[in-house]
Structures are given as C-alpha cells and as structure tokens.
Amino acid sequence: MQLRHLLPAALLLSMVCCMSAQNSPGNTNIVAVRLIGPNGNPGPVVQSPRVVKTDAEWEKQLGPAAYRVLRAKGTEAPFCGNLLDNHKDGVYFCAGCGLPLFASSSKFNSGTGWPSFYMPFASENITEIRDVSLGMARTEILCARCDGHLGHVFDDGPAPTHLRYCLNSVSLIFKDEAEVKKMGAEVAR
C-alpha cells in the first residue's frame, strides 16, 4: 500500500488513542482525593500519587477473590459478602490502596444482597465510567487512586441523593470508629 493511503489511517488511530486516554482513568500520576481528616471526617483535597502495580503484584497482594473483583471487574455472589450485614460505625476503605471510600452513615439496606451506600466518603475518591458490558448500560465505580473496580452506581437509591452505590465486600476493608478516630489523631499530630 502506498504511503498516502496509510497516513489517514495512522491519523485516525492516533485520534482514537487520544480520546480513550482522555476518558479513561489512569491518565495522570497524581490524583486529587480526600483522606481521613483530624476528626475522622473527610480532610481537605490533597494530591496523592496514583497507585499503579502489575497484575502479578496485585494478585499477590489481594488474593484470588479480591483480585477477581478489583482488578478483573468481577462481581461477588449476592448475600455472600462479609460486609453486607455490618452495622458498625466506621469507614470503608479501598482494599487495594487504603483510600477511604464510604462512611457507615450512608450505608443502607437495599435488599439487593450487596453492601449499598447513598453517597461516597468524598466524591473525589470515586471515578465513574460508563459500562455497557453484559448488554446493560450501567455506571461503573472505581477507586480514584488505584482504579480498582468497586461495583456500580444506580439512580434508585434513597434520599437525600437517590443514588445507590452497589459494592462488592471484597473491594472494601472496614475500620470502626475508634480506628478511624485514631487515624485522624495521627493526622492532627
């Protein structure tokens, strides 16, 4: 094929690459997130290094069940997760990188079999992307710092947001109020 025939194709390909880089998470090394503040509530927005690891490193750190969900976008079976019936006060952190993702104050019983929240700990900490897999149009939610798959968000939740963040238990690590307050006290020091 002659060069003049190849050029438009190369140009088109580079445009597609640019578009996908812009829309996908993971296109900068720094993310703006909120960590646990001095009183245990969300702190100010801070610049945090993105957490990037190889698949082999993630698999070793997470183990097979959490790896399948967080890194391979799997879904755990309903009514099986260990955090579904957790009613303690505290904060749910990303099992991949430790970013605070949801507070117990927004947890509710959705009846779906998955831990459900009506708002995130901080909107900055969650990335939303359109997911059209399995023949459905859904909004996938990921950890903003490590791009770990968390679940999906739907618009059939309770007031005040009417959103339902539907989570996999294995994507989360729960720390109770005393542990969160201790983390906050260390920040304040």
Give the footprint of Zn ion on residues 101-120 (CB under 5 A).
none
Q: Distance between CA atoms of 107 and 164, rounded to whole angstroms?
A: 9
Among 36, 103, 126, 146, binds Zn ion (CB under 5 A): 146
* Binding status of residue 151 toward Zn ion by CB under 5 A: no
* Binding status of residue 97 toward Zn ion by CB under 5 A: yes
* Binding status of residue 144 toward Zn ion by CB under 5 A: no
Q: Distance between CA atoms of 164 and 148, rounded to whole angstroms?
A: 18
The pair phi, psi for residue 63, each rounded to 5°, is 85, 165
Which helix H or strand E contains 4, and what residues bound it? helix 3-23
Looking at 61-69, 79-87, 96-104, 129-137, which segment touches Zn ion (CB under 5 A)?
96-104
* Binding status of residue 148 toward Zn ion by CB under 5 A: yes
**Count of residues engaged in binding Zn ion, rule: CB under 5 A:** 8
Q: Distance between CA atoms of 66 and 50, rounded to whole angstroms?
A: 19
* Binding status of residue 183 toward Zn ion by CB under 5 A: no
- Output 68 or 145, the one with its CB closest to Zn ion: 145
Looking at 22-30, 90-98, 156-164, 172-180, which segment touches Zn ion (CB under 5 A)?
90-98
Q: Is 47 exposed, middle or buried (0-12, 13-18, 19+ CB in 10 A)?
A: exposed
Active site residues: 166
